[in-house]
Structure 1
Amino acid sequence: MTSAGLLMYRHGPDGLEVLLAHPGGPYWARKDDGAWMLPKGELAPGEDPLAGARREFAEEIGIDPPGPYASLGEVVQKGGKRVLAWAVAGDFAPEQLRSNHFEMEWPPRSGQVRSFPEVDKVGWFSVPAARAKMLPSQWPFVERLAAALD
């Protein structure tokens, strides 16, 4: 399985900041450190990876940043999922988040189907703060971005 996403960045008062997304739904509701990630999603068969990354960002965040985009390469997560990422400069106000929703049975075996946002919140994080907040498998994207901008 391959996913693609965008890592939006800006230069804040304390240096480089990245926009990270907190996944929605009941499994992530009480998780914070180590749970944030770049907005990403699964590519459709034959889909151009950058086009898929832009589509997913628009679906999960609510905007399609105009670019330019710089490749941050690929990481492989613990379960074997490949994630491709691109950096894009931008400035997004977290309160403007407009995420699409998914449905699932909740609570389990209740027969009740509920709707949850794919992303329940986003935030800007300095590089040190991002290291604590994000999934460790996606940390190399922030390292690569910082090195490229250095």
Structure 2
Amino acid sequence: MARAVSAGVLAWRRRAGGPEFLLVHPGGPYWAKKDEAGWSIPKGLVDEGEDGWAAAQREFAEELGQPIAGEPVALSPCPTPGGKLILAWLVEADLEVSEVRSNDVEIEWPQGSGRRARFPEVDRAAYFDAKTALWKVHKGQKPILAEAVERLNS
């Protein structure tokens, strides 16, 4: 069985205090009260035969409701504890993210009930300084953010 591969964009913007990184918060009741390690880079599964950067751009647009433009810089592939591989690109982009227009996902809720409900895939997005972003991002994505911080600081 092939390993699942996700592709995503870590957008960043310049600020006087240093770079800020764009993270998204998953929608739905499971994530509603999770903040620490509850945020993510906008990402999703790469379709069979799909180019990774193209998948990252598609997922970004689906989760934020706007395209990503800019010069992509490939970061190191990141294996997650769950066995997925994340391909990520660093892109400088100062975007307006106060209103996210995400696609919806359907999940069983409450879990084990057999009932299906629809929720936005992403309920909010925000830029964070490096220290805050490292606290907020999923533990499996910390290496992506750490590499981006290192590259931008060098």
Q: Which deviates further from its counterpart, 40-49 or 100-109? A: 100-109
Output the aligned Cα RMSD: 1.3
- TM-score, normalization by structure 1: 0.93
- Give the aligned partner of residue 89 of structure 1: 92
Tell me the CA shift for residue 112 of structure 1: 3.8
Structure 1 CA distance for aligned equivalents of residues 73 and 66 of structure 2:
18
Q: Which residue of 2 aligns with 1:7?
A: 10
Q: Secondary structure at the match of 2:63?
A: helix
Identity of aligned residues (%): 43
In the alignment, which residue of structure 2 is the partner of 1:127?
130
Task: Name the CA shift for 1:45/1:109 in 2 (closer, same or farther; >3 Å).
Answer: same
Alignment of 1:1-150 (within 5 A): 1-150=4-153
Q: How big is the shift at 1:13?
A: 3.2
- Code of the residue aligned with 2:73 in structure 1: it is A
Secondary structure of 1:36's match?
Answer: coil
How many residues are aligned here? 150
Letter in 1 for 2:30: Y
Q: Return the offset for 1:145.
A: 1.5
What is the CA distance between 1:110 and its match in structure 2? 4.1
Any runs of at least 4 consecutive aligned residues in structure 1 with deviations exceeding 4 A, and if so which? none
- Whole-Å separation in 2 of the counterparts to 1:98 and 1:92: 13
- For residue 9 of structure 2, what is the amino acid of its counterpart? L
Q: Tell me how far apart the structure 1 counterparts of residues 7 and 132 of structure 2 sit (CA, whole Å).
A: 23
CA apart distance, 1:56: 0.3
- Match of 1:15, SS state, is coil
Question: Could you tell me how far apart the structure 2 residues matched to 1:5 and 1:111 are?
Answer: 31
Which AA in structure 2 matches 1:30? K
TM-score (norm 2): 0.91
Deviation at 1:111, TM superposition (A): 4.9
Q: In proportion to residue count, which structure has more strand? A: 1
Aligned partners of 1:87, 1:5: CA distance in 2, in Å?
Answer: 9
